[in-house]
Amino acid sequence: MGVTEDTVLNGRVRLRQAVTGYRAGMDAALLAAACDAAPGERVIEAGCGVGGALLAAARRREGARFVGLERDAAAADLARGNVVLNGLDDRAEIIDGDVERGFRTLELPVFDAAISNPPFFDDPAALRAPAPEKSGAWMADGGLAAWTAFCLKAVREGGTVTLIHRADRLADLLALLAPKAGSFRIRPIAPFADAPAKRVIVRAIKTGKAPLVLLPPLVLHERGSAAHSAEAEAILRGEADLGW
């Protein structure tokens, strides 16, 4: 398996990942920026891959502790190596496990927060010829319901669940989270100011009762430019958080 070493968060995180297969990118960076764990809090990431979001979130939130759950053995091994590579083994841990088996099978105490970038598809017919090595990251065997259920079980009452997903699945996300969570805050992610959002980041509080808030979108690019917008660039470099 060929491996590259890349840097994210303006060089503050080194990330070794496979040349082929799923590679951490924009979604992982935005999920990390959306994590607002306070010092002393414990965070679990469901499906952490090689640790792209987990390690960036740990670097951003120096006082918090992180656990990453990953079912793919090769990705989990890379993630463990990345934890050590970044000197975060005192605050971050990678464990083997499958989201679809449920949180209780891990026999862990509940967390203060859960973050996740669930696979984008439930239906194999909706996936257009992915590379075989990417199918595990793109296809949720148990559907989105398994991922939301895991995250809701993983956090204490009053804890937060933060998910990044396709914008066209927003209604599904809210419906799946609503029986156990509320106080929704939604951040659309749009490629351009005049284009529909392609992603949403949803933050919910377990047992929360506050009204839903639709926040201003994060616009990634200006028309006519391949460069990131100033706001997006500041977030990707770690100079700003994706605030709530």
pLDDT greater at residue 232 or residue 129: 232
Instruction: Write the Ramachandran bin of 90: left for phi over 0, alpha for psi from -120 to 50, otherwise beta.
Output: alpha
pLDDT tens readout for residues 53-105 = 999 999 999 999 999 999 999 999 999 999 999 999 999 999 999 999 999 99
Mean pLDDT across the stretch 34-58? 97
Instruction: In whole angstroms, give the CA distance from residue 68 to residue 116.
Output: 10
Check: CB of residue 121 under 8 Å from CB of residue 138. yes
| String of DSSP letters for 194-220 | TS--SEEEEEEEET--SPPEEPPPEE-
pTM: 0.90
